[in-house]
Amino acid sequence: MALRALARVNLAAIERNVGWLRSSLSGQAELCAVVKADGYGHGAAPAARAALAGGATWLAVATADEAAELRAAGLSEPTLVMGAVSSEELGTAIAAGAELVAWDRRFTERLAAAAAERDSSVRVHVKLDTGMGRLGTRDRAEAFEIAELIARSRGALELAGAMTHFATADDDPEFLDRQLSAFEPFASELRSRFPGIVVHAANSAATLRSPASHFDLVRCGIAIYGCDPMHEEPSERGLEPALALSSYVAAVKLAQSGESIGYGRRFVAERDTWIGTLPIGYGDGVRRALTNNCDVLLRGQRYPLVGTVSMDNITVDLGPEPGAQPGDEAILIGTDGGERQTAEQLARRIGTINYEIVCGISSRVPRAYHHDGEPIG
């Protein structure tokens, strides 16, 4: 059966990626599976379950709603909301029992009041900005003050952790080391005042690159999905892509030499050639920048995508002999016979990163879950 667009997700691959990452951790470090943005397009709850089966012990998301979604799916593991949470969103986060990040006094006070009002106790991670320049305080004294505020909140708040986030773990190990050097003394001083806190810093790239960054917990996103945080070939780092994106050939027709295909006539046949139309487009997350600029796998071979990527369709040059037939499956991301196209390859074509390719697969594309080929519910 062919679907116009389908994302097949192999949960066994996520499980293995997590198992492999965990086996590489230093000391007693645990793994937090980052499942924000609907599990990087893979589906948040199924990805979270697979990661937990692989040995993850924490979950992390970016927003309060994402934490609530995990709870609604029956997941009760410690869940960190890493992003900024507005006053409007606090109720959702607290009701979900999420752990939150604080980096300024006013937020911490507001959070304490909101928690007390709801007779809740919220676990809080203090964030130091060591060079990312987004969230977190750059002022160590302020970070300690926040920790004291939490300690004095009469149970409304509990100091759970100390964290930072790396800006260049994927491409500049020197700056990574500078951030690490700024974080280490802060974390150990905070730990000596508040033993029992969870210290964490590493994303996927730092986890793979710098054992010194593992501390008590690593926060891995992209790598658990089998994508390479360094944007290269995932298998070279022991990672196995979990997602395949497919469509099928809905129509095949002859374009005679000189005839054009698609919006803006951005492909003109230089010889008589067969054109296959696949009912998948930028409305599904196939980026328009891939116009005349990627391949599609059909019957185990690569064919060039030709003409403009439109919202609902793309077109493929099948050559002078139609090598494919209507109904044939077509792979945009994944393996077909001896051919393989990765999210990393697509990203490189259009000057972006694998993260954006997998996150960009839209909600119009159904996800089908399997375990090494065995369908799951």
Ligand X SMILES: *Cc1c(COP(=O)(O)O)cnc(C)c1O
3-state secondary structure 178-231: HHHHHHHHHHHHHHHHCCCCEEECCCHHHHHHCHHHCCCEEEECHHHHCCCCCC
Alpha carbons 210 and 10: distance in angstroms, whole number:
28
Tokens 């399997």 belong to residue: 370
**Nearest residue to 328 via CA among 270, 276, 260:** 276
Computed on alpha carbons and rounded to an integer, the radius of gyration of the chain in Å comes to: 24
Catalytic residue among 36, 127, 282, 303: 36
Q: Minimum distance from CB of 163 to ligand X (Å)?
A: 7
Of the pair 219, 287, the CB lying nearest ligand X is at 219
Of the pair 33, 314, the CB lying nearest ligand X is at 33
Scanning 186-194, 222-230, 241-249, 289-297 for contacts with ligand X by CB under 6 A, the matching segment is: 222-230
Of the pair 112, 353, the CB lying nearest ligand X is at 353
Q: Minimum distance from CB of 223 to ligand X (Å)?
A: 6
Catalytic residue among 248, 263, 303, 369: 263
Q: Minimum distance from CB of 210 to ligand X (Å)?
A: 13
Residue 71 CA neighbour count, 13 Å, CB half: 18
367 sits near ligand X (criterion: CB under 6 A): no
Neighbours of 39 (CB within 10 A): 30
Of the pair 162, 278, the CB lying nearest ligand X is at 162
Q: Minimum distance from CB of 92 to ligand X (Å)?
A: 19
Scanning 216-224, 236-244, 283-291, 323-331 for contacts with ligand X by CB under 6 A, the matching segment is: 216-224
Ramachandran angles phi, psi of 179, nearest 5°:
-65, -40
Binding mask 148-167 for ligand X (x = CB under 6 A): -----------------x--
Q: Minimum distance from CB of 328 to ligand X (Å)?
A: 34
Q: Minimum distance from CB of 323 to ligand X (Å)?
A: 38
CB within 8 Å of 39: residues ≥ 6 apart: 45, 46, 47, 48, 225
Q: Partners of 157 in the beta sheet? A: 122
CB within 8 Å of 40: residues ≥ 6 apart: 47, 221, 222, 225, 227, 355, 358, 359
Q: Which of residues 66-85 bind ligand X (CB under 6 A)?
A: 82
40 flagged as catalytic: no
Alpha carbons 167 and 344: distance in angstroms, whole number:
20
Alpha carbons 121 and 169: distance in angstroms, whole number:
34
Of the pair 26, 325, the CB lying nearest ligand X is at 26
Interface pick for ligand X out of 43, 229, 281, 307 (rule CB under 6 A): 229
Ramachandran angles phi, psi of 9, nearest 5°:
-120, 120
Do residues 306 and 277 lie in contact, with contact meaning Cβ atoms separated by under 8 Å? no
Interface pick for ligand X out of 14, 33, 34, 180 (rule CB under 6 A): 34
127 flagged as catalytic: no
Interface pick for ligand X out of 222, 255, 316, 353 (rule CB under 6 A): 222
Q: Minimum distance from CB of 256 to ligand X (Å)?
A: 47
221 sits near ligand X (criterion: CB under 6 A): yes
Site size toward ligand X (CB under 6 A) is 13
Q: Partners of 298 in the beta sheet? A: 301, 330
220 sits near ligand X (criterion: CB under 6 A): yes
Scanning 2-10, 63-71, 200-208, 343-351 for contacts with ligand X by CB under 6 A, the matching segment is: 200-208
Alpha carbons 78 and 95: distance in angstroms, whole number:
13
203 sits near ligand X (criterion: CB under 6 A): yes
Enumerate binding residues for ligand X (CB under 6 A).
Answer: 34, 36, 82, 165, 203-205, 219-223, 229
Catalytic residues: 36, 263
